């Protein structure tokens, strides 16, 4: 891989694509060779679980050989990526409007969407995402909690059939808007990973109408989107009595949704 750095975190997107391809091909190990002077790239690979297993000598010099085992012992959410660890962590349904969903999760677009709307931006490319909301209950999120990302209806039909779960993410951190000491700290935290422009973030900071801020990792994208109808009628999730913006689900329901979405279930571990 060769990436010309231009501030949009394209390196992370390459790593995600490589790992996704390996998972799809049921390949257990990935390796890459890299020259020692490329320190930033090596740091990036190491963060997501690549470890040096040797060196390679060629006419161009000596390269490090870095490898990652997809199902290696889970040591943490970063090195273990894309594994999703249940453990004592809670699982939730989290809704995103279509316009935010597509810009934030480019590998989870629907068949009726075009890749032309996926932009080369840091929020689209990065494995990490920042989301701002005012939905009740979101302040309960803690590091390690699991999110089933629910794309709300596009208005082209009944929400029962048009609203779908498309992917799974893992919470890195929850913060309240008041926890930021200044507007500049808030901008630095949000700008690389959120869909909002600097101007929009300035407006959100001033109006303070979206006080819940959390960062999550984009771990699994479903092959088949799971409709609200399937979740209610086949998997036992609550119906119209439940507000579908944000609510807790069981680990069993999360696994059932992932199964319906044809995700690799070996990536969800106890």
> What DSSP assignment string belongs to 39-108?
HHHHHHHHHTT-EEEEEEEETTEEEEEEEEETTPPP--TTTTTT-EE-TT--EEEEEE-HHHHHHH-GGG
Quote the CA–CA distance of 82 and 9 in Å, as a whole number.
18
Query: Does 10-69 match 84-269 in CATH topology?
Result: no
Task: Please identify which residue in the block is written with the tokens 């091909």.
Answer: 25
Distance CA 245, CA 147 (A): 12
Q: What is residue 232's predicted lDDT score, i.e. its pLDDT?
A: 96
How many angstroms separate the CA atoms of 219 and 201, rounded?
A: 26
Region label for 76, one of left (φ > 0), alpha (ψ between -120 and 50) or beta (otherwise): left
Residue 256: CA count within 13 A, CB half-sphere: 14
Q: How many residues does the chain have?
A: 270
**Residue in 105, 151, 83, 130 with CA at minimum distance from that of residue 13:** 105
Residues in the chain where the model's pLDDT stays below 50:
6, 8, 110-123
pTM summary value: 0.89
Is residue 144 within 8 A of residue 85, CB to CB? The reply is: yes
Break the chain into its structural domains and give their ranges.
10-69, 84-269
- Write the DSSP assignment of 186-236 as a string of letters: HHHHHTTTSS--HHHHHHHHHH----EEEEEEEEEEEEEEEEHHHHHHTT-
Which CATH class name applies to 84-269?
A: alpha beta
Task: Give the pLDDT of residue 107.
Answer: 64
pLDDT at 90: 98
Confidence (pLDDT) at 16: 87
State both tokens at 270. 């106890």
Give pLDDT tens digits for 166-221: 999 999 999 999 999 999 999 999 998 888 889 999 999 999 999 999 999 999 99
Predicted confidence at residue 249, as pLDDT, reads 97
Q: Which CATH number fits domain 10-69: 3.40.50.10300, 3.40.390.10, 3.20.20.30, 3.40.630.30?
A: 3.40.630.30
* Sign of CA pseudo-dihedral 235, 236, 241, 245: negative
User: What element of type H or E holds 256?
Assistant: helix 251-260
> CB within 8 A of 89, min separation 6: which ones?
142, 144, 145, 146
Tokens 């040096």 found at: 52
Scan for tokens 């088949």, then name that residue. 224
């Amino acid at each position: 891989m060769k990436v010309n750095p231009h501030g949009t975190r394209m390196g992370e997107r390459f790593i995600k694509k490589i790992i996704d391809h390996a998972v799809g091909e049921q390949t257990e190990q990935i390796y890459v060779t890299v020259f020692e002077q490329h320190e930033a790239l090596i740091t990036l690979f190491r963060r997501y679980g690549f470890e040096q297993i040797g060196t390679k000598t060629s006419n161009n010099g000596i390269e490090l050989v870095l490898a990652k085992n997809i199902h290696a012992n889970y040591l943490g959410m970063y090195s273990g990526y894309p594994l999703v660890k249940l453990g004592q962590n809670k699982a939730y349904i989290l809704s995103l409007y279509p316009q935010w969903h597509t810009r934030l999760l480019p590998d989870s677009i629907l068949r009726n969407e075009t890749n032309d709307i996926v932009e080369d931006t840091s929020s689209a490319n990065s494995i990490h995402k920042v989301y701002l909301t005012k939905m009740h209950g979101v302040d309960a999120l803690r590091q390690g909690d699991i999110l089933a990302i629910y794309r709300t209806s596009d208005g082209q039909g009944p929400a029962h059939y048009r609203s779908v779960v498309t992917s799974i993410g893992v919470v890195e951190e929850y913060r309240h808007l008041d926890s930021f000491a200044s507007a500049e700290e808030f901008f630095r935290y949000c700008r690389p990973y959120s869909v909002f422009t600097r101007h929009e973030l300035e407006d959100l900071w001033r109006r303070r109408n979206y006080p819940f801020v959390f960062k999550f990792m984009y771990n699994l994208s479903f092959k088949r989107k799971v409709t609200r109808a399937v979740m209610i009628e086949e998997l036992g999730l609550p119906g119209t009595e439940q507000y579908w913006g944000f609510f807790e689900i069981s680990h069993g329901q999360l696994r059932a949704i992932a199964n319906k979405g044809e995700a690799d279930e070996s990536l969800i571990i106890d």
